[in-house]
Structure 1
Amino acid sequence: MLTTDELTGRASSHVVSHPLCRSSVKLQSQAFAAYEAMHAAATAAGLGLDIASGFRDFERQRVIWNRKFSGNAPLYTSAGAQLDFASLATGEIVEAIMTWSALPGASRHHWGTDLDVYDPRPFSSGQRKLELVPEEYSEGGPCHELALWLQRHAGDFGFFFPYRRYRGGIAAEPWHLSYRAAAHQAHQQLTLDVLQHVISNADITGKDYVLDCLASLKERYIDTICSATEEQEDSEWLFG
């Protein structure tokens, strides 16, 4: 079980690095063990697999949030169309941010259980830059072959896609994998009271509005995910 500080990204004592990845990429040790086995299987299948992002701390998430809330970074719809920041009301800004970026303290990346994956081979020359957009994982995209393999095999190693399709909250993220056992426990720990405490005591732009609407925001953007059970029973994917 994670401490409250670990759960909300204010501590990193629960995560470690691994020789397979850059030293800056960190996960819980059990998640890395599962990833190592999956990496070996992907390699044996002739595929490339790497982690673009693992653990992300509270401060990094806070900076991302504040930049977007202040209009210093672009905002997008769930379909990827850029929004006109000047025309948005406060609630629309919050919803636009949370469609693609987590509320500080509420990111699954805080837990050390979630990772953004890609095929590094098409990007090795430096001529193409990874953007982590659905088109890269769709047919004709540089990560499409890997995406198809992961759809079939990620579950064999204990992973699932929490955002495999858009369900009215976070946009579809075909690159986002979650280590099911540890992530489920962390999700259960992340209560409304925990979030209220963390956000109330942080320098988060727009936090008064967020706190007023926190229960509904939590339900829509934090608790609404595609479960591993549904994934096993449902062959329809938004991407692939």
Structure 2
Amino acid sequence: MKQKGKIFLFLLLSWTVNSSFLRIPQFEKADLLGDIDPSRHRDFDKVRSKYCNKESYLREEVYDAFKDMWAAAQADGISLTIISATRNRSYQKGIWNRKWLSFGGDESDRAERILQYSSMPGTSRHHWGTDLDLNALENSYFESGEGAQIYAWLQAHAADFGFYQPYTRFNPYRDAGYREEKWHWSYFPTAARIQRAYRLEIDYSQLKGFMGDTYAEKLDVINNYVMGVAAWPDKAPY
């Protein structure tokens, strides 16, 4: 009986340890809403200057995947530079409020115009540490010359490393949300889990404290913008 008890205890401990590794990570509301300091967050790493043009942070697994993609691009003569990565809610509030003050016209129309390319604080994928902007912030850059070569390489190879373009042109699947952003790439394996958690955990009572915040619910930004992303490419390995 003692021997059986030891075997049972060993199996129980083994299951406990293994299940702790297999458990899907849980995300705090602060992670979902961007109420974090990525420089002090245990799941984030600082990006080396060779990969970015300013101080940047990403989740560890996202950074590892980007480094692999960067190396593959370099081998093909393609240069990728992160120009924006994690932005917390406070940073995004500054962007939003500046635009709110500079955009004229009716408030509802003003909110919709800002939302063409900029997120309301608390709703940006850049809060999550999974998304990054590459090389330039204009679609026109990626439509000719070096930019077109970079974009073609990303379309062909980014999915091999877990990255995809969440904001494509509108289509029957993606008929709401931000306009196309050829510079914005997201690490699907982590971002998809965070997006599902966001749908379950966040409501409009938590999207307050910025100019025009009443329009978050009026424009249904959770469904139309947070969830309004492209489908994951069929060819991807995930």
Query: What 5-or-longer segments of structure 2 have no aligned partner?
Result: 1-25
**Structure 2 counterpart SS, 1:229:** coil
> Which residue of structure 1 lines up, in the alignment, with residue 212 of structure 2?
206
> Which residue of structure 1 lines up, in the alignment, with residue 61 of structure 2?
30
> Which residue of structure 2 lines up, in the alignment, with residue 68 of structure 1?
99
The amino acid of 2:229's aligned partner reads: I
> Which residue of structure 1 lines up, in the alignment, with residue 185 of structure 2?
177
**Structure 2 counterpart SS, 1:228:** coil
> Which residue of structure 1 lines up, in the alignment, with residue 138 of structure 2?
133
After TM superposition, the score normalised by the length of structure 1 is 0.77
Deviations 1:4-34 (Å, cap 9, x if unpaired)? Answer: 1122111121321132434611110000111
Is 1:39 aligned to residue 67 of structure 2? Answer: no
Deviations 1:162-210 (Å, cap 9, x if unpaired)? Answer: 012234420100111000010001111113762423323x2x1112233
Determine which of 140, 146, 153 is the counterpart of 1:149: 153
Q: 1:109 to 1:227 in 2, by over 3 A?
A: same
Structure 1 vs Structure 2: percent identity of aligned residues? 30
What CA distance in whole angstroms lies between the structure 2 residues aligned with 1:209 and 1:152?
38
Is 1:90 aligned to residue 103 of structure 2? Answer: no
> Which residue of structure 2 lines up, in the alignment, with residue 103 of structure 1?
120
> Which residue of structure 1 lines up, in the alignment, with residue 226 of structure 2?
222
Does the Cα contact within 8 Å between 1:99 and 1:221 map onto a contact in 2?
no
Is 1:116 aligned to residue 133 of structure 2? Answer: yes
Q: Give the C-alpha shift of residue 70 in structure 1.
A: 1.8
After TM superposition, the score normalised by the length of structure 2 is 0.78
Bigger relative contact order, structure 1 or 2, given CA contacts below 8 A and separation 6+?
Answer: 1
Which of structures 1 and 2 has the bigger CA Rg?
2
**Structure 1 counterpart SS, 2:83:** strand
What CA distance in whole angstroms lies between the structure 2 residues aligned with 1:92 and 1:115?
28
Q: 1:101 to 1:192 in 2, by over 3 A?
A: farther
Deviations 1:118-155 (Å, cap 9, x if unpaired)? Answer: 2xxxxxxxxxxx5x110000023x42111100000000
> Which residue of structure 2 lines up, in the alignment, with residue 57 of structure 1?
88
Does the Cα contact within 8 Å between 1:163 and 1:225 map onto a contact in 2?
yes
What CA distance in whole angstroms lies between the structure 1 residues aligned with 2:59 and 2:123?
17
Does the Cα contact within 8 Å between 2:142 and 2:182 map onto a contact in 1?
yes
What value does the CA root-mean-square deviation take over the aligned residues? 2.0
Q: 1:192 to 1:94 in 2, by over 3 A?
A: farther
Q: How does 1:182-193 map to 2 (within 5 A)?
A: 182-191=190-199
More helix by share: 2
Q: Give the C-alpha shift of residue 221 in structure 1.
A: 1.7
Q: How many residues align?
A: 201
> Which residue of structure 2 lines up, in the alignment, with residue 21 of structure 1?
51
Does the Cα contact within 8 Å between 1:15 and 1:55 map onto a contact in 2?
no
